[in-house]
Chains A and B, each alone.
Chain A
Amino acid sequence: MMSEQALQDIVIVGGGTAGWMTAAMMSQVLDGQLGRIRLIESEQIGTVGVGEATIPTIHAFNQKLGIDEAEMMRVTNATFKLGIEFVNWGELGDCYLHPFGPFGQDLNGVAFHHYWRRGQDLGIDNPIGDYCLANVAAKQEKFAHPNRDPKSILSTYAYAFHFDASRYARYLRHYAEERGVIRTEGKIVDVKLRQDDGFIESVRLESGEAIAGDLFIDCSGFRGLLIEEALNTGYEDWTQWLPCDRAVAVPSENVSPLTPYTRATAGNAGWQWRIPLQHRMGNGHVYCSSYLSEDEAITTALANLEGPALAEPRVLQFTTGKRKKMWNRNCIAIGLSGGFLEPLESTSIWLIQAAIALLMQRFPDRNFDIEDIDDYNRNMQGRFEEVRDFLILHYKATERTDTDFWNDCRTMSIPETLQQRIDMFRKRGHAIFHPAELFVEANWLAIYLGQHVIPEACDPRVHCFDDEYTRKRLQQMQMMVAKTAQEMPMHGSTIESFCRAKPAHV
């Protein structure tokens, strides 16, 4: 028997990636047994649809929904992703990969990179990426699904996707509608609050129809139609650390083989993304408007396209930061309405996913207990801060002196927790991480070592072994990685056989 306090009407406002991801997961978890789910969206408004690159955590979401990977990839024109390539970050001319896999293997209980660091002293100058299969395979444009056998080196990496986020949303819409989610087309013109407690009572559409609900999920994008415009929740501004505030997005034709990685190239006052999809290349230029004009930004974006542009450049504005409360009264902001962090590490979809997962663990009833809400907000604050700090590291750890933008980034003061992490790594090569966090040791290592934050010394336990041992282990590891990568199929041919999109979709 359902409790009297059970939610009856759940209203999702906005149908972009965030809205349909939420609707799909809710319809799966609630299984038609609890509450009615309604999603309101307007075709006039359209969606932002950036965030086309994902990270491996996306599998947990898709698997919970029971999505067939090949089908999803075909429908969304997806490609595989083994990491992100960073160009010109540490210094002009630099290039390193942040791969989805560890560097080498722990030896004698000591992390591999300490042996690598010792190798540097011994004159072995291979970059750390040479010891990571995901890294080497990505650079050779190889891709095969990982092996499940934990003894195989092919089990040492994970992968994610590049996909067309609008098509992913459409795919999930179909999924959600099949499971009873009611979609309403319409533009919201008014939000009515309850007089006694300020909770949202209903939203009114242009057509005059009022839609009432117990719980409202705000997926309306940057503006925050419910969380901000109706509830005045407030916004925490993080632009002092992450000053970019504009992006130019422009798709182009594919003219080269599909790379199994995203590329992020640092520019004069920001960076450019390059995301290969089966049918086109997604490109964009994230920049800071106080250092670069819109015209200059667009010119740069267009100048660096590999193939002809497929659409006019579109400019987006944003403020890096987050809503003071992601969950306020009976409204939860998921997606851009909750906060914005530039897609440098492809975290936009992950933050949506994390919000949905946490909502399912703190699912309310009509009492809307403040303990659940506070706990949700504390947790989401932590998630956002973690990503924020990881992004700041990319800007802070630079030796570039060629523009004012980079000079200011290099010399800015950063959150104390991040400063401690960097100091700790620089001294002794310990990558502090909190096990519950998204980014683990390998992630931090990739950025540190890729951007010249090199430990002064290795772990003293490396000295338990003579240098010949270290030399040999490094060489073995590098050769095994190189050999395995060489035997892997090309990314393009894996796509061809596994998930080539039908021409009709192009």
Chain B
Amino acid sequence: MSELIKHVVIVGGDACAPAVAACIANSLRGTDTKITLLDDMSRHGGIASTLPLSTDFYKLLRFKEQTLIAATGATFKLGTEHSGWLQDGSSFVQSYGELGVPIRLLPFHQYFLKKRLTDSSLSIDEYSLASATALAGRFAMPADDPSSLQRPIQYGLHVNHTRFSAAMLSYATAAGVEHIASAVKSATSDSGFIASVTLDDGRAVEGDFFVDCSGEGGLLIGKTLGVGYQSWSEFLPCDRCVRITSSKSQDITPLTRVVAKQHGWSRRVQTVDRAEFEYFYNSSTSSDAQVAKQLAEDIGANDDAQPEHRAIEAGRRESFWHGNCVAIGRSAGNFESLEVSATSRAHSAVLRLVGLWPNADCDPVIASEYNRLTSLEYEFARDFVGLFFTLSDRDDSDFWIHSKTLGKSDALQNRLDLFRSHGRLSWDMQDIFSRDNWVSALLGLKCMPRVCDPLVDVADPKLVDQFMGELRQSITDTVSKMPTHIDFLREYYAASGKAANAADTTSSPAPSR
């Protein structure tokens, strides 16, 4: 029988490292396993956007959501508003909520499609509580009452990444993680296993299990163990990104806002005290200066705004777990953060890792299962992003002309073919996006089925009409009773401020208009 792991070394650098350390520490609490985090905490800026799945992550850590939100200046996110993808100027919301209610076990969008034949101005957003709430700039928590329309609301967060990392780091150290504030320079390996890493100051740290959160390049998994990187440049167009952060107050919408533009696409995310704008583009069709200039103009930035450029090598590691080393974060894979953020991908990965926690021999059977699950998740996410470029009808710039030449996976092709025939969706449980997420993106991007499901005709059309009318009305009514997002935040922060004062901890940033 193999020995337990004695020493886990987490090599940081990537912004996800403290959260990874916190999660591992939580699940190994009470064992003799030593955990060391090597991270100089130099790369933790910006705003992170999380998917609802990150809630599982906080829950496992028993992190009180209210504390986390207050500590990180977070705002709520019900989904993403997309515009500019189609030449007709249409926009849509990709929300985390449910799209309507099934009728006679048939998905709601089938009835919507039929109705749309006679009224092409109809938008499915009107039948989704989350989308309607987000568009109205309002917010409310999910209801406990199972019959309430509000029950299934799901949300992600926009958080200040520096403060989020700090919260995770203090959680980790409280749970026994030793934090050494130093960067890692190099690593040594012995027959496919990492033996030790060397810090900037020359110190060597040995361990029997290593998590590579070193970011792009993958110091351990790539540079030391030689695991290759699979490029996805044939599937996804963007290889660079420019970011401008603004402390100017913005209207705080419960949405990420994405706009497809001449050079690629841009997005805006905001916490209570700052907004961040990113523009993703392709270096062979646009120059850094061109894109930075356009972004600055679009957001009306001051002349002293500092655009930060970075490269994105779209792709994934050939295997995510090799020997005694697991890559999490950008060392594992990277691609433009349309819809799925690096932060949530890392949360999902570390949850999977602790569920498969190995012994010191790092049995390859376990590694191969981890790799199988992670590959599926990465590929579904890649296909979801690819969907936007596949379905865009733009051809007005070199970027969009280049996008037309991209390939797509067989899985995505099958999905599109099936949807185009009768509006049906093939879906896998490993998919990070729900069925309704896919349907909402497909319909928003005007991928219209040739005909709707033949079974739609079974239900009495008068009753369906009446039902749809009532649903739309009750969504409108429910939304009108909700507070605006900004009012909700103000009250939420005031309540958590009281809680914080009572506990005599440091005060948190408060939202302002």
A residues whose Cβ falls under 8 Å from a Cβ of B: 1-3, 5-7, 29-31, 33-34, 64, 109, 360-365, 367, 369, 371-372, 374-375, 378-379, 420, 423-424, 427-428, 430, 432, 434-436, 456-457, 459-461, 463-465
Contacts and interface: CB of A to CB of B under 8 A. Distances in A.
9 contacts: A6-B454, A34-B457, A34-B458, A109-B60, A369-B422, A369-B450, A428-B356, A460-B4, A463-B31
A6 B457 contact: yes
B1 A456 contact: yes
B323 interface: no
A7 B451 CA distance: 14
A424 B366 contact: yes
A73 B400 CA distance: 63
B1 A457 contact: yes
Contacts of B1: 456-457
A464 B31 contact: yes
A256 to B, nearest CB: 42
B455 to A, nearest CB: 5
Interface in B75-132: 104-105
Nearest to B104: A29
Instruction: Say what secondary structure dominates the interface of chain B.
Output: loop
A109 B457 contact: no
Interface string B453-495: 1110111000000000000000000000000000000000000
5 closest cross-chain pairs (CB), A and B: A464-B30, A435-B429, A369-B421, A371-B421, A371-B417
Interface residues of B, number: 42
Contacts of A374: 414
Contacts of B450: 369
B175 to A, nearest CB: 12
Contacts of A109: 27, 60
B455 A360 contact: yes
A432 B369 contact: yes
B424 A427 contact: no
B29 interface: yes
A3 B357 CA distance: 55
B5 A460 contact: yes
A7 B454 contact: yes
Nearest to B428: A436
A464 B4 CA distance: 11
Given A6-B454, A29-B104, A364-B454, A460 B369 contact: no
A109 B29 CA distance: 13
B436 to A, nearest CB: 16
Contacts of B414: 371, 374-375, 378
Contacts of A365: 451, 454
Contact of A363 (B359, B369, B453, B459): B453
Contacts of B418: 371-372, 375
A419 B85 CA distance: 46
Contacts of B420: 371
Given A365-B451, A464-B30, A434 B429 contact: yes
Contacts of A31: 458
Contacts of A424: 365-366, 369
Interface in B255-296: none
A33 B457 contact: yes
B167 to A, nearest CB: 21
A375 B426 contact: yes
Contacts of A456: 1-2
A372 B28 contact: no
B308 interface: no
A457 B359 contact: yes
Contacts of B357: 459-461
Contacts of B421: 369, 371-372
Contacts of A457: 1-2, 359
Interface string B359-370: 100010110110
B152 interface: no
Contacts of B451: 3, 5, 365, 367
A460 B359 CA distance: 7
Given A361-B424, A372-B421, A423 B365 contact: yes
A465 B31 CA distance: 8
A362 B424 contact: yes
A362 B425 CA distance: 10
Contact of B363 (A2, A367, A428): A428
Given A5-B454, A34-B455, A427-B366, 14 more contacts: A29-B105, A33-B458, A34-B457, A365-B451, A372-B424, A428-B358, A428-B365, A432-B369, A435-B429, A456-B2, A460-B28, A460-B358, A461-B27, A464-B31
A344 B358 CA distance: 34
Contact of B368 (A363, A420, A435): A420
A5 B365 CA distance: 51
Nearest to A361: B424
A463 B426 contact: no
Contacts of A428: 356, 358-359, 363, 365-366
